[in-house]
Amino acid sequence: AQEVITGLDFNIAVKKLFEQQKSLKSATAYDTVFVKLPFFDDFSTISIWPLPERWADNYAFVNTDYAKNALTVGVATLDAIDETGALYADAGSYPFEADKLTSQPIRLDSIFTPVARALAANDSVYLSFVYQPQGRGAMPAKKDSLLLEFHSPLNFDTIFGENDTTYVPRWDLIWSTGGGMQVDTFAVKNHGYFSQVLIPVTKEKYLKKGFRFRFRNYASLANSYVPDWQSNGDQWNIDLVYLNTGRSLNDTSIKDIAFADKAPSLLRNYQAMPYRQYRKNFLNEMQDTLDIRIANIDNVPHNISYGYNLRKDSQQPYEEYDAGNFSIYPFSEYGYSNYTPFAHPPVNSFYPIGTDAEQKVVFHSTHYITTDPNLSIKQNDTIRFTQVFSNYYAYDDGTAEAGIGLNGSAGSYAVKFELNDADTLRAMQFYINQTLSGTNNQYIDLLVWNDYLGAPGQVILKMADVIPLNSDSLNKFQTYWFEQPVVIDNSTFPGLIFYIGWQQGSIDNLNFGFDRYTDSHQQRFFNVTGNWQMSDVQHAGSLMLRPIVGLENPLSKPDPAAATTFKVYPNPVSGSYFNIELPKTWQVSDDISTELLDVSGRLIHKNEYQPTFQTDNLSKGIYLLRLNNGRLQQSVSQRIIISY
């Protein structure tokens, strides 16, 4: 029995974008876009999919969270999830072809500045990039690999069909590397968390109009003996892709100064918290200093300026911090800038204190660097953070990079929170990852504990027999409202400390959303032996579990009876059928599907909704009936007992 972190079976951010656009780029045929040299991308424009002006397909995931100790903010991640956000259809324990990152056709026949002329082999054309295995994700297995391939526009395979002839681009393998190495070991071996590769492009067949290159990876899943571990993994992070003339093997730098990480919260303990609780202790809730990473990826020092500002909503900034100018040295020799006014700027202000009437307030912090105007890459010179004050606490940043839970034993899991003033706990929210195995379709009890000697103590509230619902939209949290809210005061909760979490009777990992970017492992506890144990730094990250406290929900609390209640009768079922009556807010025309799962979470029936469900082929036992509303993007569940 243990606490366990797994990957994701679905990338919800990619899935959401795919559903919105309903169109995919493909690199099997030429596009009308021709990119002129220089070709450069540091993926600092966070667009989920790669930018279409440079890249011809949608398989890689552009993000700020997967890389560890990046050179610039944003990377392209290749893994085991396809362009729709789901695991590849042929994913298994043997290596399978997974993601691709394919350039648009490139004008590698000519250059156009300062004078247009044809390119030749002696023009020293080089392609360079940096890569990293695993990052904050899962380590690529030893049998998995990352590849770089080139395509000449003259190089096609001809496939003759009965009715037509197809020309398929032929790709040449140029470079590859294998997996099997943890990212920290990789960093020691390569003297840095990213390794740079430089490839000369000298063959005449590539110096053509329409040249392309692509990265792709082979991935594999865990074996089938641990099905709830069979999830996304084998992450490779790629950055600083640069193709140009006049380069050499010694041309390892890029003339750029960049933020290397996303903007931090100014709060000391949380990513988000209730505004009322912040107001009660605002000075102690603010950070003293921030951690800002700025990298000079050139090979000479550059003089830059840095500052940040704070504003409420869309108003003018009410606070400005100006760190002035300073010359920062190359990252290759000195790492991130350690100049204190840049690397650890002070928090000299606080979020203004509003009135009791303000329940949801939003502030923005914007960090910016000003560099030499000759450094033309500007999109990585600004980073922003949006600070939300509402009616919930959050350690996580709202994005799951993995899943966490208990595996191998029944047990309990809890997260610690501390109020600044007595308040009312009304609900808890959590994010559940979708899983192929369905092992998270289990009954659990939601619990609230008080504190006893720094760990969960007495159970104060129990919401029994809850079935966690998968989140099928962009990082959507499910909310479970208590019938009787819990008053958090010193009489019942010493120190105003409380814990929320769950108790499970199943030995399966329920795969709760896990944010690997923000770390709060010292606030997480699990119990599989009868004793509570604090999570350790090996499981660094934040569980996506949030308490809702305060007044009635300013986030538009739904009517739980209307949204989540539906009737099934008779139940228990002793005959050959039962009836299903939809929730009050649902319509038969809402694209409703019906699913029936057995006690192990195995899907045994799925069909369009019918008001009568035939049970002739079902054995005696307990089942989970789930209704899915396509229009409202809602799912509701209920236990069914077959008693004949």
Confidence of residue 320 (pLDDT cuts 50, 70, 90): very high
List the structure tokens of 14: 């990619």
pLDDT confidence band for 226 (50 / 70 / 90) = very low
Q: What is d(CA 126, CA 389) in angstroms, rounded to the nearest whole number?
A: 49
The predicted model gives 450-462 an average pLDDT of 97
Q: Per mean pLDDT, which range of 20-24, 302-306, 415-419, 503-507 is the poorest?
A: 20-24
What is the β-pairing status of strands 361-370 and 319-328? Answer: unpaired
CB contact set of 517 (below 8 Å; sequence gap of 6+): 65, 136, 397, 399, 401, 541
Q: 495 falls in which pLDDT band (50, 70, 90)?
A: very high
Structure-block tokens of residue 145? 């690999």
Amino acid in position 482:
F
Amino acid of residue 21:
Q
pLDDT at residue 151 in the model: 96
Closest residue by Cα to residue 274 from 430, 429, 399, 387: 387
Whether the upstream peptide bond of residue 456 has omega within 30° of 0, thus cis, is no
Measured between alpha carbons, how far is 363 from 388 in angstroms, rounded to an integer?
A: 7
Contact 390, 324 (CB under 8 A): no
pLDDT tens digit sequence for 131-174: 999 998 888 989 999 999 999 998 887 777 777 777 788 999 99
What pLDDT is stored for residue 19 in this prediction?
59
pLDDT at 587: 87
Q: Decide: residue 350, CB within 10 A, 0-12 exposed, 13-18 middle, 19+ buried.
A: middle
Query: Residue 355 above 80 pLDDT?
Result: no
Q: How far apart are the first and last CA of the chain?
A: 36
Share of the chain above pLDDT 90, in %: 60
**Distance between CA atoms of residues 531 and 447, nearest Å:** 16
Tell me, what's the pLDDT at 180? 92
Instruction: Give the count of beta carbons closer than 10 Å to the beta carbon of residue 171.
Output: 19
Predicted TM-score (pTM) of the model is 0.80
Separation CA 209–CA 151 (nearest Å): 11
Predicted confidence at residue 583, as pLDDT, reads: 87
For residue 231, pLDDT beyond 70: no
Residue-level pLDDT at 227: 42
Q: What is 26-63 written as a DSSP string?
A: -SSS--S--BPSPEEE---S--BSPPTTTBS-S-SEEE
| Beta carbons of 402 and 7 less than 8 angstroms apart | yes
CA atoms within 13 A on the CB side of 1: 17
What is the DSSP-derived secondary structure letter of residue 423?
A: E
Confidence band of 555 (pLDDT split at 50, 70, 90): very low
E strands within 250-408? 257-259, 273-274, 294-296, 302-312, 319-328, 361-370, 382-390, 402-407
Within 13 Å, how many C-alpha atoms sit on residue 522's CB side? 3
Of 489, 540, 601, 457, which is closest to residue 136 (Cα–Cα)? Answer: 540
pLDDT tops 90 at residue 460: yes
Neighbours of 522 (CB within 10 A): 12
Residue 220, CA distances (Å) to 76, 87, 275, 622 in order: 19, 11, 45, 35
Between residues 626 and 195, the one the model is more confident about = 195
- What pLDDT score was predicted for residue 354? 73
pLDDT tier for residue 11 given thresholds of 50, 70 and 90: low
CA 247, 250, 255, 260 dihedral sign is positive
d(CA 466, CA 449): 17
Rounded to an integer, the average pLDDT of 490-517 is 91
Beta bridge partners of 569: 579
d(CA 329, CA 336): 9
Q: Could you read off the pLDDT of 587-627 as tens digits, one per residue?
A: 888 889 998 887 666 788 899 999 999 998 888 888 888 88
Is the pLDDT reported for residue 473 higher than 50? no
HEC per residue, 378-415: CCCCEEEEEEEEECECECCCCCCCEEEEEECCCEEEEE
Instruction: Note the pLDDT tens digit of each residue in 559-586.
Output: 444 445 788 999 889 889 999 999 888 8
Per-residue pLDDT tens for 76-89?
999 988 888 777 88
How many angstroms separate the CA atoms of 637 and 56, rounded?
41
Cβ–Cβ < 8 Å for 88, 11:
no
How does residue 557 score in pLDDT terms, banded at 50, 70 and 90? very low
Cα–Cα distance, 340 to 349 (Å, whole number) = 18
C-beta separation of 251 from 49 below 8 A: no
- Cis peptide bond upstream of 572, omega within 30: yes
Residue 558 confidence class, pLDDT cut points 50, 70, 90: very low
432 or 419: which leads in pLDDT: 419
Q: Tell me, what amino acid is at 467? A: I
Instruction: Output b/e per residue, 58-84; b: 16+ Cβ within 10 A.
Output: bbbbbbbbbbbbbbbbbbbbbbbbbbb
pLDDT in tens, 91-145: 878 899 999 999 999 999 998 888 889 998 899 999 999 999 999 888 898 999 9
Q: What is the DSSP letter of 580?
A: E
The pLDDT tens digits for 235-247 are 999 999 999 999 9
